[in-house]
């Protein structure tokens, strides 16, 4: 994606330079900002300079001033405000920003994951950088090609489009769930998976498939709300034939939908059916039985994302981070029922 020159032509961006050289946008910024020594090889620096000249790339002076912290404002892009998890992410980011005299504006994708209007048409000149969740997939398209430093949350750490990555160790979280249920004797599973196209959910599905190889595993996808989860689980659990003994959900909200279906079908949880979630939201302890789930450090997640952005703005190149998670075993999981 290219920006447009005031005279009407397409103006190359730092991403175009990075792609042509085969380096990250952060590297291009370091070289052209004369901050590369000790971080980038002289050969790479020369290649970046030559390619920028060949493409006719002219750094955006306004954007460069922003990276120096002139507005002291960052944008946090999340899929929805209705999800408690992202409220905690915002709290962590805002607290970290405030300690450095920064503010954080929040941009939620409409309808959670639906198409979003370009948030940068008027806001780009008022931002120092962006922190974005990979779940806000459509909104991220508007980020590509801008000169704003981008820190990605829960995304592929090999993606060169971001200046830094902060992840949760969701792979370990799912392994903890599967180890827990396998130790309880379960061998027949339903994975109620999120229908949102996102790296974090792809990782969870891959871990489940590997950990549960040799068992019965069926996957059903659902949007991230209790009503759709109820419909998907009702079809899966109400179908003729043997039922799974455990349902692994990508989210606590999906798990609540399963608990409602189990009650309608006369299934006891956990005696007849074990149910697990992911996130450890408040609602995990508001249901009966309380939900076995994976606890994610949402506030720390936001804080580390903001700290990574501040490091990028200071000319540093933060290493990818994967924050540890933990399994919280509660009443919704128990031994597999006898055959």
Q: Domain 1-59 belongs to what architecture?
A: Orthogonal Bundle (1.10)
- Give the start-end residues of each E strand in the chain: 3-4, 10-11, 73-78, 103-108, 129-133, 150-153, 164-168, 188-194, 216-222, 246-249, 274-276, 293-295, 321-323, 326-328
The answer for residues whose C-beta is within 8 angstroms of residue 283's C-beta and 6 or more apart is 84, 252, 253, 256, 291
In which residue ranges of the chain is CATH 1.10.260.40 found? 1-59
List the one residue out of 71, 80, 32 whose CA is nearest residue 52.
32
The percent of the chain in helix, strand and coil, each rounded to the nearest 5, is 40, 20, 40
Whole-angstrom distance, CA of residue 112 vs CA of residue 194: 13
Which pTM value belongs to this model? 0.76
In which residue ranges of the chain is CATH 3.40.50.2300 found? 170-296
Q: Are 102 and 303 in contact (CB under 8 A)?
A: no
170-296 belongs to which homologous superfamily? Response regulator (3.40.50.2300)
Whole-angstrom distance, CA of residue 70 vs CA of residue 145: 21
Per-residue pLDDT of the chain (339 residues; tens, 9 = 90+): 444 443 344 667 888 888 999 988 888 878 887 777 777 888 898 998 899 888 888 665 445 544 444 678 899 988 877 788 999 999 999 999 998 888 998 888 655 444 445 555 545 557 888 999 887 655 666 666 567 888 999 999 988 888 999 999 999 999 999 999 999 999 999 999 999 888 999 999 999 999 999 999 999 999 988 899 999 999 999 888 899 999 999 999 999 999 999 999 999 999 999 999 999 999 999 999 999 999 999 999 999 999 999 999 888 889 899 999 999 999 999 999 987
């Amino acid at each position: 994606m290219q920006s447009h020159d005031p005279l009407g032509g397409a103006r190359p961006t730092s991403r175009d330079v990075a792609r042509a050289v085969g380096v990250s946008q952060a590297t291009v910024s370091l070289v052209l900002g004369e901050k590369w020594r000790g971080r980038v090889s002289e050969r790479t620096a020369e290649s970046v300079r030559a390619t920028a000249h060949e493409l006719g790339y002219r750094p955006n002076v306004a954007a460069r001033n922003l990276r120096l912290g002139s507005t002291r404002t960052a944008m946090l892009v999340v899929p929805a405000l209705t999800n408690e998890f992202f409220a905690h992410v915002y709290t962590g980011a805002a607290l970290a920003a405030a300690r450095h005299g920064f503010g954080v504006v929040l941009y939620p994708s409409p309808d959670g994951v639906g198409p979003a209007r370009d948030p940068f048409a008027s806001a780009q000149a008022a931002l120092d950088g962006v922190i974005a969740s990979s779940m806000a997939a459509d909104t991220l398209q508007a980020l590509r090609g801008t000169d704003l430093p981008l820190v990605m949350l829960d995304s592929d750490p090999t993606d060169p489009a971001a200046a830094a990555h902060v992840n949760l160790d969701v792979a370990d979280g799912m392994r903890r769930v599967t180890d827990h249920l396998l130790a309880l004797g379960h061998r027949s599973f339903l994975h109620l998976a999120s229908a949102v196209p996102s790296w974090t959910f792809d990782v969870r599905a891959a871990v489940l498939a590997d950990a549960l190889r040799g068992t019965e595993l069926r996957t059903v996808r659902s949007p991230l709300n209790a009503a759709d989860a109820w419909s998907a689980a009702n079809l899966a659990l109400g179908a003729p034939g043997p039922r799974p003994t455990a349902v692994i959900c990508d989210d606590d909200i999906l798990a609540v939908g399963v608990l409602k279906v189990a009650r309608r079908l006369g299934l006891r949880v956990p005696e007849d059916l074990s149910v697990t979630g992911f996130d450890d939201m408040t609602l995990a302890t508001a249901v009966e039985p309380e939900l076995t789930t994976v606890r994610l450090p949402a506030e720390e997640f936001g804080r580390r994302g903001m700290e990574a952005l501040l490091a990028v703005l200071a000319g540093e190149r933060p290493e990818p981070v994967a924050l540890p998670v933990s399994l919280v075993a509660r009443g919704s999981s128990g031994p597999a029922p006898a055959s």
